[in-house]
Structure 1
Amino acid sequence: MGAKGGVALKFLQWFIRGVQLLASALILGVYAYFLAALHNHDLNITNQVRAVAGISGAGVLYSIIGLLLLCCLAGIMFTSFIAIVLDVAFIGAFIYVAVANKNGASSCTGYLDTPFGKGQDSSKANGSDGFTSLPSFHTACRLQSACLGVAIIAIIFFVLSILTEVALARHHNKEKRFGPGPNNNYTTGYGSGGLFNRIFRRGKKRTGPEENALPAHTTPEQLDHNRQSYATETTAVHSNDNPYSADYPKQETGYGYPTTQNGVGHQTAATPQNYRYGDGVYDRA
């Protein structure tokens, strides 16, 4: 994966964080209504209702921060580690939200147990007068059913965000280690095969010929010792025991000029007497 792979991972994480934001906001809206109605009619507010409202509110805040930080801090090791830890924490938190709304898994008919109390599906909770209308037990149960389904969706997307965050961190580290080259078409990344090619080729030895390797040179063990010469220092003079054979005639020096002996110089031939020159005959004195 190159630059396009990094952009695709960021868009995927944007989508995942967006779903988390919507899921958290929906649960927060339902439980904010529960809190307002219970408080307005002086009904008992359980710790479970407060906890679910707090978890969903924290999920909204975390999702918004995650969406904003994706623009500038995506894939950095420290921020990715913090995001993964928080994602794991929110997985546990939304499991609690799903358990708190387990009564919504029923058909919401008959005798129901809701945050407004227990009673038949057609009846309402009894409370003091207030400006917020109280829902019937059936309506409260249906709202819990919606929160249960959304909590399960949020859990799934928090798991997906962990996987995407790991992929972003790996991509970011890869971009720092590898620059443009022929294997990646002079862009960035691992080259052909992408990330999965790097994962599966770990531990494998290269068996094919190296493209940029130099040709193999002849070693001394591979030399033919019957050949007369490979280098100046090993030049052969003859190939058999007879140095004066016809194949290798003996070299002669001098090239036809008479040799000289040490200490004996060349002598000039004497001119005969009465030698006739071009302008007359001269007697030697």
Structure 2
Amino acid sequence: MAKSGLALKALQWFIRGIQFLSCAVVLALFSYFLAIASRNNIGIPTWSKAVEGISGIGVLYTLLGLLLLCCVAGHPFASGIAIILDIAFVGAFIYVAQANRGGASSCTGTVNTVFGTRPASDSLGSGLPNFHQLCQIHKAVLAVSIIAIAFFLLSAFMEVILVRHRRKESRFGPSPANNYTSGYGRRGGFFGRFRRRKGSEEQVMNPNVLPEHTHPDQVRPSYTTEGTNGAHYNKYGDSGFQHDGQVAYPDRTSYPSTGQSNYGYVR
């Protein structure tokens, strides 16, 4: 089970890495937009600053997730916070993809960019990209945003799996059910009844397993020996108590064989 836990952590680390790269790409491209606007005194819409902020926070969050994954993976509190943030970033990058929907076009003719709607052949100025190139940048941001949405959904699902795996590890520790190794033991509950019973097979495979002892309540009283369990049953169905080789019947007042009454002894 240690190997499975390590594999789950490695998979989540890979997912967080893709998220980090996606956020970093969006941050770098929109930082380029903001740098062009700042150097050339070009106005840009407010939503571009929002995209810059979302991608920047995403970089910090995914980087922190990569660093803490080795020590807090599967902890219910940490995973709960991560799931909430993952779902929040799904919504945030849906907004980023919608804001860069202009990149879904063929980037020919009239294009819609962060600097306005212009013909693709127009340029922002000398030494600056034209609107066709700006449209291509929006196309890249749109594609990366869709990838980020998919991987944030996947990471939220993986956090649930990590929590369940950690709880099972703590619930089923070393015991005879798992040969004193870390991992799962026998499951109970509703689904446990569908699991095949392996008790007899384990005894066959392990010659050191001793058979289960008989409990006192599993012993059937013998009715053929008078000395067994101190009780005797005669042909009339009465029980007596053995005493010095004789059997006493305190419950009957008389017996046909002896004629004795009350507490008589019959050989």
Q: Compute the TM-score of the two structures, normalised by the length of structure 1.
A: 0.71
- Deviation of 1:182 (Å): 3.4
Matched, 1:232 2:221: no
* Structure 2 counterparts to residues 40-189 of structure 1, below 5 A: 40-125=39-124, 133-189=127-183
> Which whole-Å deviations, capped at 9, do the CAs of 1:54-86 have from their partners, x for residues lacking one?
111111110110011112211111111111111
Q: What is aligned with 1:19?
A: 18
Greater relative contact order, per chain length (Cα 8 Å cut-off, separation 6+): 1
Q: Aligned letter for 1:178?
A: F
Q: Is the Cα contact below 8 Å between 1:117 and 1:125 reproduced in 2? A: no
- Long gaps (5+) in structure 1: 193-197, 244-250, 252-285
Whether the 8 Å CA contact 1:49–1:115 is kept in 2: the answer is yes
From the superposition, tell whether residues 42 and 87 of structure 1 become closer, same or farther in structure 2 (CA, over 3 Å).
same
Runs of 4+ aligned structure 1 residues displaced above 4 Å come to: 198-201, 205-220, 222-229, 235-238
Whose Rg is larger? 1
Contact 2:172 2:185 in 1 (8 A): no
Once the two structures are TM-superposed, the CA of residue 30 in structure 1 deviates from its matched residue by 0.6
Contact 2:104–2:142 (Cα < 8 Å) also in 1: yes
Cα displacement string for residues 106-147 of structure 1 (whole angstroms, at most 9, x for unaligned residues): 111111110122111111136xx8xxx421111111111111
1:273 paired residue number: none
Please tell me the root mean square deviation across aligned C-alpha atoms, in Å.
3.2
The SS at the match of 1:113 is strand
SS at match of 1:112: strand
2:204 counterpart residue number? none
Conserved? CA contact 1:39–1:45, under 8 Å: no
- TM, length-normalised to structure 2: 0.75
Tell me which protein shows more strand as a share of its residues: 2
Q: Which runs of 5+ in 2 are unaligned?
A: 201-210, 233-241, 248-255, 259-266
Q: Deviations over 1:32-72 (max 9, x none)?
A: 00110112111111111101111111111101100111122
Do 2:221 and 2:229's aligned partners in 1 also have CA atoms closer than 8 Å? Answer: no
